[in-house]
């Protein structure tokens, strides 16, 4: 269903719930996987996803349509992920200045809801060596194949900076593979 139709239905109180169900059906998996790749653990992803969509419910009528609905959703999801990860760092007494995402490696090693092979595990471990924001950029480009212009709208960062960040991430991962062959 067209996003404009979903927004129009949401604006009408009598069709609000129907519109929101349609929005959920359309975007829940995309948002879930975007979050899951960041927080790794399924239960954490579940919590964050619920928070995201509750925020969407509360704020959709204020959505000004100056960007795509998809971009707006992604922005909320990304911010919620960063907030969640920062809280997790604080709980584990990890400095927010600590760049690596190694604190998530326990969730990965735990193996719950992960049935990847050695290569997939190695890739995820490599990705966890990246800082959170660089991980975001890499995930969005590599797994979701987003255009740099879309990522720029979501993250509020210039296209050039995103390209540089992505290329650097690829190099780091490549170095990880070479070091762990």
Q: Which residues bind other proteins (CB under 8 A)?
A: 17, 20-21, 24-25, 28-29, 32-33, 36-37, 40, 42, 46, 49-50, 53-54, 57-58, 113-117, 119-121, 123-124, 142-143, 163, 166-167, 170-171, 174
Instruction: Identify which of residues 71 and 124 has a Cβ nearer to other proteins in the complex.
Output: 124
- Rounded Cα–Cα distance for residues 118 and 66 (Å): 43
Q: Give the position of tokens 């960062």.
A: 157
Least CB distance from residue 49 to other proteins, whole Å?
Answer: 7
Cα–Cα distance, 170 to 176 (Å, whole number): 10
CB of 57 to other proteins, least distance (A): 4
Copy the structure tokens of residue 173.
Answer: 């991962």
Alpha-carbon Rg for the chain, nearest whole angstrom, is 17
To other proteins, the closest distance from the beta carbon of 40 in angstroms equals 8
Closer to other proteins by CB, 72 or 138: give it.
138
- CA–CA gap between residue 150 and residue 75 (Å, rounded): 10
């Amino acid at each position: 269903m067209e996003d404009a139709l979903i927004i129009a239905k949401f604006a009408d109180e009598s069709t609000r719930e129907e519109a929101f169900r349609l929005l959920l059906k359309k975007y829940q998996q995309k948002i879930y996987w975007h979050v899951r790749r960041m927080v790794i653990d399924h239960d954490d992803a579940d919590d964050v996803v619920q928070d995201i969509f509750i925020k969407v419910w509360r704020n959709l009528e204020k959505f000004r349509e100056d960007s795509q609905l998809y971009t707006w959703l992604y922005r909320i999801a990304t911010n919620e992920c960063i907030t969640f990860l920062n809280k997790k760092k604080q709980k584990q007494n990890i400095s927010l200045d600590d760049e690596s995402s190694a604190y998530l490696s326990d969730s990965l090693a735990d193996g719950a809801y992960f049935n990847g092979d050695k290569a997939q595990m190695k890739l995820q471990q490599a990705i966890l060596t990246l800082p959170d924001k660089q991980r975001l950029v890499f995930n969005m480009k590599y797994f979701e194949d987003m255009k740099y212009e879309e990522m720029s709208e979501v993250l509020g960062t210039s296209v050039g900076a995103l390209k540089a960040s992505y290329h650097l991430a690829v190099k780091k991962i490549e170095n990880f593979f070479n070091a762990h062959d």
